[in-house]
Amino acid sequence: MLNKKSVDDINVKGKKVLVRCDFNVPLKDGRITDENRLVAALPTIKKLIADGGKVILCSHLGKPKGEPKPELSLAPVAARLSELLGQDVKFAADPEVVGPNAKAAVEAMKDGEVVLLENTRYRAEETKNGEAFSKELASLCEVFVNDAFGTAHRAHCSNVGVTQYVDTAAVGYLMQKEIDFLGNAVNNPTRPFVAILGGAKVADKLNVIANLLEKCDTLIIGGGMAYTFLKAKGYEVGTSLVDDEKVGYCKEMMEKAEKLGKKLLLPVDTTVAAAFPSPIDAEIEVSVVAADAIPADKMGLDIGTKTAELYAEAVKSAKTVVWNGPMGVFENPILAKGTIAVAKSLAETDATTIIGGGDSAAAVNQLGFGDKMSHISTGGGASLEFLEGKDLPGVVAANDK
C-alpha cells in the first residue's frame, strides 16, 4: 500500500495532468480565512509546471450536495493560487465541472499552464463514485495525480473512480509525505513508539485504540475518553463524560495491554470543575484530585499535574510519537494545561512527532508548537482511518511503483 508511484516517477512533459488537490478551505464572505491547504499543495503543482505538464487542478469545497452553489465556487481559490504561484491560474467556471467551458479551457492550454476546474461536488455523482463523471474527468487528461490526503478515506470520482480510466495514476508530494510519516509510524516505527490518544469519546476511536495498542510500546490515554477507562477500573468518575456502553471495551483493552506486555497509561489525577464551562472559554473554578477520588458531583475536564508529568516523561524516552486528540477542554485556557504540557513534551523531544487529526492539529498550532512537530497531518478523518490500520481508497487507487 505504501509503495506508490509518485510525481518523481512520471514524465508529464507536454501531457495533460489532472491533479486532485484538497482545496477545501474555510471561506468567509468569499475570502479564504486559512490558506494552509493551498500552500501545502504548491510543491506538487510547481513540480508539474516545471516539468512542462499542462496542469489541470480539481478539488471539492464544502458540501454543495450535487448542485452549483455560487458561495462554494472555487473561483477565490484560483485567484489566490495565481498569487501564490506567481502565474495565472485560469478558472474554468462550469456548472457541469467538465462541461463545454472546462473542455475549451483545457484544449487551449500550453505546456506549463494551469487551469482550475469548478468544485467537483457540484456534480451529484462525485460522492457516489459514479462511472460517467469519473470518465468525464479522465477524458480531460493523460495522467492523474492524487495529492488530496484529506479525502483519501473516501472513494469518490475525482480521487478513485477517475483512476480506472487513466493509464497513469500517481500520488503527489503531500500525499507521499502523509503516507511516509503515518505509514512508517504505524507499520515500521523506530522504537520506543508512544501513541497518545485523547479527544472527546471512546466510541469515536475504538479501532484506533485497538490497532495502536498492537503497534505501539506505550499507549497514553487522556481527554474525555479517559473517564470511561477510569470507570472500567472501578473508579467513581462523577459527572465526567462517560460512555457506559464502552466500559466493557475499555476493560478488554486493559487486559489486552497486559497480555501484549504494552504500557497503557491512564490519568493518575485529573482537573475537575462543577460543570462544563459555558461559554466554553468561561473562567471557571477548578481543582486537581486523584483519579480514584473524583467527587460524585464533579466533572473531569483535563488531566492533572502529576499525569501531565507522567505523560511528558513517557514521551522523553520515545523515538516515535503519534498524537491524536487533546488531553482536556483545550479551548478553555484554564483547562488547556494538560494539552499544553503534552504539546511541549513533543516539541522538546528529538523523536519523530506526528500529529493526526483536526482538533489536535488545531490545538498544537493554536498553542504555537506547530513548527516543532515532524509532521502535522492535513487529514482529520483520513489520518484516523490510517491509524486504525485501514486501507485508504484514495491511496490504494494509485499505481504501485
Choice between 141 and 221, CB closer to ligand ATP: 221
Choice between 53 and 338, CB closer to ligand ATP: 338
Whose CA is closest to 92, among 66, 122, 62, 65?
Answer: 122
Q: How far is the CB of 368 from ligand ATP (least distance, A)?
A: 17
Length of the chain: 401
Stretch that binds ligand ATP, among 39-47, 170-178, 185-193, 357-365 (CB under 6 A): 357-365
Q: Binders of ligand ATP among 146-205, rule CB under 6 A?
A: 199-200, 204
Task: Tell how strand 218-221 and strand 263-265 pair up.
Answer: parallel
**Alpha-carbon distance 29 to 221, whole Å?**
40
Question: Binding residues for ligand ATP, how many (CB under 6 A)?
Answer: 19
Whose CA is closest to 229, among 291, 170, 176?
Answer: 291
Rule CB under 6 A: choose which of 359, 373, 376, 397 binds ligand ATP. Answer: 359
Active site residues: 37, 201, 358, 381
**Computed over its alpha carbons, how large is the radius of gyration of the chain?**
23
Sheet holding 193-197, edge to edge: 263-265, 218-221, 193-197, 320-324, 352-355, 375-376
CB 18 within 8 A of CB 140: yes
Choice between 21 and 355, CB closer to ligand ATP: 355
Rule CB under 6 A: choose which of 161, 267, 328, 393 binds ligand ATP. Answer: 328
166: helix, coil or strand? coil
Q: Binders of ligand ATP among 229-268, rule CB under 6 A?
A: 241
Q: How far is the CB of 240 from ligand ATP (least distance, A)?
A: 6
**Residue 276-315 contact track with ligand ATP, rule CB under 6 A, x = bound:** ------------------------xx--------------
**Alpha-carbon distance 314 to 194, whole Å?**
8
**Alpha-carbon distance 343 to 181, whole Å?**
18
Stretch that binds ligand ATP, among 128-136, 154-162, 185-193, 353-361 (CB under 6 A): 353-361
Whose CA is closest to 362, among 373, 349, 352?
Answer: 373
Stretch that binds ligand ATP, among 4-12, 59-67, 290-298, 319-327 (CB under 6 A): 319-327
Contacts with ligand ATP by CB under 6 A lie at: 199-200, 204, 223-224, 241, 300-301, 324-326, 328-329, 331, 357-360, 380
